[in-house]
Amino acid sequence: MCSSCAPETANGTVNGTVNGTTTNGTTPNGTTPNGTANGTRQSRQPYQSVADAYSNTANFKIIESTLREGEQFANAFYDTETKIKIATALSDFGVEYIELTSPVASPQSRADCEAICKLGLKAKILTHVRCTMEDAKIAVATGVDGVDVVIGTSQILRDHSHHKSMAQITETAIEVVQYIKSQGVEVRFSSEDSFRSNLVDLLSLYQAVDKAGVNRVGIADTVGLATPRQVYKLVRTLRDVVSCDIETHFHNDTMCAVANAHAALEAGATHVDTSVLGIGERNGITPLGGLLARMIVESPEYVKSRYQLHKLKEIEDLVANTVQVNVPFNNPITGYSAFSHKAGIHAKAILNKPETYEILNPSDWGVKRWIHFSSRLTGWNAIKSRAEQLGLIINDEQAKQLTQKIKAMADVRPLAIDDTDSIIRSFCLEHVPEV
Ligand SMILES: [Zn+2]
C-alpha cells in the first residue's frame, strides 16, 4: 500500500539500524616506564597499534589549548564571556587541562586568566609563559593550577629570537622550575622548535629540569615539519632520559599533527596538546576531535570513559561561530560528509552491518549516518530502505525496477531528495496494488 507516508528525516537520510560498535574487547595496555599502571591487554585487532611497555595510547591526558594556541588563530578574538563559555564547555567535555594565554600578554588576558581560575572547573587551569622569573611570578599570582614555560632551543631561534646560549637557557630553566614548584604549582618546561634543536643539547636540558623537579617536559613541533617516525624516535629516546611526564605539541603545516600525536603516545608521551578544530598559528595544531577519532579506534573504553563525546559537535560549533569559520566538510566525526555513504555497494553493506564501512560509530558521538539515495550511484537496498521510511512497502524486484528509473533520471540531472521521493511515490502508486 502506498497511502500513508511516515515522517521523513529532515536531511533526507536513511538512518539504518545503528547497532554497530567500534569496541573491540581490549583493555588498556601494560605499564609505562614512569610507573603508571594501565591494566592488561587481552586481545588485539589488526588496526590497533602494537602496545608495549612504553605505549600510553590507552592512558593519556589532553591539554586543551583553544584558549591559548587557538587565540593565535588569525580570526580569533575572545571576550571574557566567550572564554568562560569555552572553558566551561571543555571542562564539561572532560579534558584534563585547559591552557590559557599568558597573563603577561595584556591586562585583559591577566584578568581573564584570574576569572577562569575562580570558576572552580573540574579541568586544571594552566597558563603558558616565557621561561623568565618575571613571567613565572605573574603566572603563579593568577591562581592557576600549573604553569607551562617555554623557550626556543633551536639554533635558528637562539640566533634570531632570544640570543641565549644553551648554558644560559639551562640556568634560567632550573631557576624558574624550582620557583614555580616552590609555590605549590605544577610546572611544565618545553623547548620550542624541538625537532630542529640539537639532540644532545635538548636531552641535557630536559635531564637538568627533570632533576630540578619539573612535572612535565614538552616537545613541540613548532613549525610542523616532523613525521611520525621522527616523533616516535625522539619521544622514545627522551622517555629513557627523564622520569617526569612528557607533553607533546604538534603543528599541522604538513598534515601530520594527529599522526604525530599518536606516534608520541605510542613512544611513551603522556600528554597531548589540542585545540578545537585545530585552530592556532598558521593552520593550527592537533585537533581535539581528530585526536579522539584516532584514539577511540584502539582505546574505546578509555576514550569513552573520560570524554563526553556527544558534546563534541556543540563545542566545535561554539568555537567555529566564535572565530567565524565553517566546520570543514571533511572534518572527522562532525564534518558534513563524515558519515555519508553514497555508492550502492557501500549503502547495501552499511544498512546490513555498519562496521563494514565505518571504523567509527556515529552514535558514540551523538551524530547520524547519512545514506545518500538521490544519485546514479545509488543501489536498490538504499531505495528500498527509503521507501520504507516513507511508509511504502515494496518487494526486492520492485525496488530494483524503481532504482533503474531513479538512476536513469539521475544520469540526466542532479536529483534533489524531494525529486527522488516523488519518483518513489509515483512508482508505488503505479506498481503496488492497494491492499
Ligand atoms: Zn603552537
Dig out the grid coordinates for 301 from the structure.
573504553
Choosing from 128, 262, 341, 346, the catalytic residue is 346
Q: How far is the CA of 283 from the centre of ligand 1 (A)?
A: 10
User: For the segment 100-118, what is each residue's pLDDT rounded down to a tens digit?
Assistant: 999 999 999 999 999 999 9
Residue 50 has pLDDT above 70, yes or no: no
Query: Sign of torsion, CA 209 215 221 227?
Result: positive
Contact criterion met (CB below 8 Å) for 26 and 43: yes
Angle at 348 between CA 425 and CA 429, to 5 degrees: 15
User: For the segment 404-419, what is each residue's pLDDT rounded down to a tens digit?
Assistant: 999 999 999 999 999 9
Q: How far is the CA of 383 from the centre of ligand 1 (A)?
A: 48
Neighbours of ion ligand 1 (CB under 5 A): 69
First to last CA, the chain: 6
Whole-number average pLDDT of the chain: 88
Strands (E), 131-228: 146-152, 186-192, 216-221
% of the chain beyond a pLDDT of 90:
73
pLDDT value at residue 174: 97
Weakest-pLDDT range from 17-31, 150-164, 166-180: 17-31
Q: Whole-prediction pTM value?
A: 0.84
Residue 33 has pLDDT above 50, yes or no: no
Q: How far is the CA of 394 from the centre of ligand 1 (A)?
A: 57
Q: How far is the CA of 280 from the centre of ligand 1 (A)?
A: 7
Q: How far is the CA of 354 from the centre of ligand 1 (A)?
A: 37
Q: How far is the CA of 274 from the centre of ligand 1 (A)?
A: 10
Residue 163: active-site member: no
Residue 41 has pLDDT above 50, yes or no: no
Residue 42's pLDDT band (boundaries 50, 70, 90)? very low
User: For the segment 307-330, what is each residue's pLDDT rounded down to a tens digit?
Assistant: 999 999 999 999 999 999 999 999
List of residues 6+ apart from 182 with CB closer than 8 A: none
List of residues 6+ apart from 7 with CB closer than 8 A: none
The HSE-up count of residue 367 (CA atoms within 13 Å, CB side) is 21
Q: How many CB atoms sit inside 10 A of residue 42's CB?
A: 9
Alpha carbon dihedral 266, 95, 29, 215, in 10-degree steps, equals 70
User: For the segment 117-134, what is each residue's pLDDT rounded down to a tens digit?
Assistant: 999 999 999 999 999 999
Q: How far is the CA of 188 from the centre of ligand 1 (A)?
A: 15
User: For the segment 324-356, what is each residue's pLDDT rounded down to a tens digit?
Assistant: 999 999 999 999 899 988 888 888 888 888 888
User: For the segment 282-295, what is each residue's pLDDT rounded down to a tens digit?
Assistant: 999 999 999 999 99
Q: How far is the CA of 271 from the centre of ligand 1 (A)?
A: 15
